[in-house]
Amino acid sequence: MTTMKTLDKQKIIQLAQAVIKEEAHAVLDLSSRIDEDFVTACEYLLTTSGRIVVLGIGKSGHIGRKIAATLASTGSPAFFISAAEAAHGDMGMIDKQDVAILLSNSGQSDELVSLLPPLKRLGIRLIALTGNKQSSLATNADITLDVSVTNEACPLGLAPTTSTTAMLAMGDALAIALLDARGFNESDFARSHPAGRLGKRLLVKVADIMHQGEEIPQVAENMSLKQGLLEMTSKGLGMTVVIDASHQILGIFTDGDLRRVLDEDIDLHKTMIKDVMTHDCHTASEEQLAAEILEVMQTLRINSIPVADKDNKLIGALNMHDLLNAGVI
């Protein structure tokens, strides 16, 4: 059982800096190993009619989970299987149309090496990420990507640190190379991340979040300003749209307009809302991206906007709170 030592702040700082420098140096060394083998590995991954199966054990297994997740989220269908679980039934998840990425720094992990015969019987392509090019894993793989490191950042030279960082960086390099080869773009990324902020910005349309029907604040042009204020208050969007008999949008009356008319000391009962509304107001289309409308509203410094169809008829309304609640802001 170890005993607690008094913290040496300077030593802690120096050790942390040394770890980061060691790992950064190891990752930088990988760039010189991006060669024809890397290109061939990308070709295998890109042209497979199946999925990419990532296998590993221990710390390499943790890295494998992340690599599989990155591949899947950037357009390359992939999943992770623990080498231990594969040996006890999960091999059934692997199909002969798949391609496998096998991770092991030593290249001699028993759990992974034991999978080589059944994987080869399936006839699938094997890509090894290992730090030992003479290992069983490397010599049995179709392509081996060298992720060897000079030293582990661990001062004992035991805990996988630099080696797992290098392995992760190589996995990221594969994922991004494939992303580019597939023509994967922001919209594709958004579809893979519908709950993320980018997904919301690129997928949510005005129609998805606008108020409709009875929720739309609207008054006829011949109504009084008082009636318009009551409509604004009851609907809570900070504005009301002024329409004609055919629901054509004539203008808008907002909180800002209210402050203006109050300064003019007008009669709320006798003044017609059409006489104090903002004419030629900006409108949104239900097919527009919510993020696009957000940019318009921020540029114009407005908090609410009506939604119109192609004939300028009122079909909806939204404000900044709707955009905020939808995660677009």
Q: Which helix (H) or strand (E) holds 37?
A: helix 36-47
> Structure tokens of 217?
């604040």
CATH number assigned to the domain covering 12-184? 3.40.50.10490
pLDDT > 70 fraction of the chain, expressed in percent and rounded? 92
How far apart (Å, rounded) are the C-alpha atoms in residues 299 and 160? 51
Which residue in 266, 272, 209, 270 sits closest to 242, CA to CA?
Answer: 272
Report yes or no: 202 and 190 within 8 Å, Cβ to Cβ.
yes
pLDDT of the residue at 128: 97
Please give the order of strands across the beta sheet that includes 99-104.
Answer: 78-82, 52-56, 99-104, 125-130, 143-146
Residues 6+ apart with CB under 8 A from 146: 33, 130, 131, 133
Residue 193's pLDDT band, with cuts at 50, 70 and 90, is low
- Helices and strands (H, E) in the chain, number of each type: 15, 11
Q: What is the mean pLDDT of residues 259-279?
A: 86
How far apart (Å, rounded) are the C-alpha atoms in residues 228 and 307? 18
Residue count of the chain? 329
Q: What is the mean pLDDT of residues 3-26?
A: 85
pLDDT of the residue at 79: 95
Cβ neighbourhood burial of 147 (10 Å; 0-12, 13-18, 19+): buried
Higher-pLDDT residue of 194 and 130 is: 130
3-class DSSP state of 174? helix
Report yes or no: 54 and 80 within 8 Å, Cβ to Cβ.
yes
Q: Which CATH class is domain 206-325?
A: alpha beta
How far apart (Å, rounded) are the C-alpha atoms in residues 133 and 99? 20
Cβ neighbourhood burial of 327 (10 Å; 0-12, 13-18, 19+): middle
pTM of this prediction? 0.65
Higher-pLDDT residue of 280 and 163 is: 163
Q: Where are the domains of the chain?
A: 12-184, 206-325
Residues 6+ apart with CB under 8 A from 118: 91
